[in-house]
Amino acid sequence: MVDQQGTGVSACIHHGARLYASLIRPRVYPLAGHDGAAIEVYNLARALPPFPWVHETGYRGPI
């Protein structure tokens, strides 16, 4: 996963999809030996809302 600034990070499909859904103009590249993972991240991200950990009442994540 690479953001619009060129910062990259490796992620599993689940977390990669969450991240992809929350970034502006992200790019996803498969790791060696993970055929279809990049397109799976893309397809899952299309159905996810951006920033699911932020709610109207404020941040509800771990402290």
What confidence tens digit (pLDDT) does each residue in 38-58 have? 999 999 999 998 887 776 666
- With 0-12 / 13-18 / 19 or more C-beta atoms within 10 angstroms meaning exposed / middle / buried, residue 8 is exposed
pLDDT at 34: 81
Q: How far apart are CA 1 and CA 9, in angstroms?
A: 5
pLDDT at 33: 80
The full DSSP string for the chain is -B-TTS-B----HHHHHHHHHHSSS-B--PPTT-TTHHHHHHHHHHTS-S-TTEETTEE-S--
Percent of the chain with pLDDT over 70: 83
pLDDT at 30 over 90: no
If you average pLDDT over every residue of the chain, what do you get?
Answer: 85
Which pLDDT band, with edges at 50, 70 and 90, does 63 fall under? very low
